[in-house]
Amino acid sequence: MIELLAPAGDLEKLKIALMYGADAVFIGGQDFSLRARASNFTLDDILEATTFAHLKGKKIYVTTNIIPHEEDLFGIIEYLKALEERNVDAIISASPSIIDTALKHTNLEIHLSTQQSALNAEAVNFWYDQGITRVVLARELDKQQIKKLISKTKADIEVFIHGGMCMSYSGRCSLSNTMTDRDANRGGCAHSCRWNYELAQDGKSVSNQMFSMSSKDLEALEQIPYLIDSNVSALKIEGRMKSLHYIATVVSTYRKLIDTYLRVGEINDYHPYLLELQKAENRLVSFGYLEGMPGIEQLLYDRRSEQPSQLFIGLVKGYDQKTQTAFIEQRNYFEIGQEIEILNPNGSEKSFILKEMTDENGEHLDVARHPQQIVKIHIPFEVEPYAMLRKK
């Protein structure tokens, strides 16, 4: 069975990812991770995460994927042993020093990070022979190359299918470090590639417009059947910094597509899945390298493309069946009379017209305008905790 692997920046996002269909979640601890600005997990959080996941028959992987300088390795043995004690299912690493330390001092399963740029069968088999059980391939391979590589390798293979794509080779970028003294390879990326630049000579602009060096985000819906048939072991969504709504929407969409393909053997219409992904806060998307060498249409030379969405308006915290009252943690503005869509953790969707709304004290509201305020609304059908409300 192919694994759908999702990101999580904190415990709430982790639970959402697993409830909405992920088979496993990758997280970052407070040390040795490449997302210094994420709400990284304490060791107590990691224990809660593994306990929650294992009760559902799912897995937790912890990133230890920095490219460390000598001083960054202080405490690594103790940290890896602590992860083992908390029953994490694997660590994701790029550094031979961290990998070697884990192999010598723990029984942790180890997955090779994409930062190691594994691009051919010989490299994959080398790392397998060192003790690596899974290799996260470099993103610079097309789907035919991936299929050919898998036929010659012994390790499980993981492939990115959705999320941000680093413009640098396998994410090994020095722009941020050079320009802001924030080392991307040690967790401090400032996303310098997304800034606006101009070409200048002798202090004078010689370009007609500003430009960036960023790529569009990856979206591989239409490549999923080919990857499944190629015996890829895991399909990976990127985005530990993303919102609850983004994670729920993206995970549930890929879950439905994967399950449909495994059940039916084909996908006749990708349009519904594409429409669903567009409800998340996406940048512009492309298929990356999966269909061959990217052209200019896969890049973002002349604009930024963030598309902030206010569709996500609330999170269900509870539901009273007798009164048909839902307790909602509000996230974005909504008002009486709007059509609202419910996205349930099982991926099903249902809509209703909002007719009644009060605050926690029972005071009537026409508008919900305060983020994280608890409001009570009438929903004429049962909804599950952690269901998402969004504007239709």
Backbone φ/ψ region at 375: left (φ over 0), alpha (ψ -120 to 50), beta: beta
Mean pLDDT computed over 255-275: 96
**188: confidence class by pLDDT, cuts 50, 70, 90:** low
What pLDDT does 96 receive?
A: 94
Mean pLDDT computed over 295-303: 70
Distances (CA, A) of 292 to 3, 124, 146, 185, 222: 24, 21, 11, 27, 14
What pLDDT does 227 receive?
A: 98
- How much of the chain exceeds pLDDT 70, in percent? 93
- How much of the chain exceeds pLDDT 90, in percent? 67
Distances (CA, A) of 285 to 103, 146, 214, 288: 38, 21, 12, 8
The answer on pLDDT for 104 being more than 70 is yes
The answer on pLDDT for 216 being more than 90 is no
Tell which wins on pLDDT, 184 or 88: 88
**186: confidence class by pLDDT, cuts 50, 70, 90:** low
The answer on pLDDT for 35 being more than 60 is no
Q: 339-382, pLDDT tens digit by residue?
A: 999 999 999 999 999 999 999 989 999 999 888 999 999 999 99
Q: What is the C-alpha to C-alpha distance for residues 5 and 1, in angstroms, rounded to an integer?
A: 13
**Arch. (CATH architecture) of 312-391:** Beta Barrel (2.40)
Mean pLDDT computed over 217-227: 96
Would you list the domain boundaries of the chain?
3-189+215-300, 312-391
Mean pLDDT computed over 184-199: 72
Domain 3-189+215-300 sits in CATH 3.20.20.70: yes
As a residue count, the chain comes to 392
Q: What is the C-alpha to C-alpha distance for residues 189 and 201, in angstroms, rounded to an integer?
A: 28
Backbone φ/ψ region at 18: left (φ over 0), alpha (ψ -120 to 50), beta: alpha
**183: confidence class by pLDDT, cuts 50, 70, 90:** low
Indicate the SS3 state at residue 320: strand
**37: confidence class by pLDDT, cuts 50, 70, 90:** low
What pLDDT does 187 receive?
A: 60
| Pick from 262, 301, 217, 332: nearest CA to 21 | 262
Tell which wins on pLDDT, 270 or 199: 270
Distances (CA, A) of 124 to 131, 144, 153, 155, 373: 11, 16, 7, 7, 50
**293: confidence class by pLDDT, cuts 50, 70, 90:** confident
Q: In this structure, what token pair is assigned to residue 29?
A: 């601890």
Mean pLDDT computed over 256-283: 93
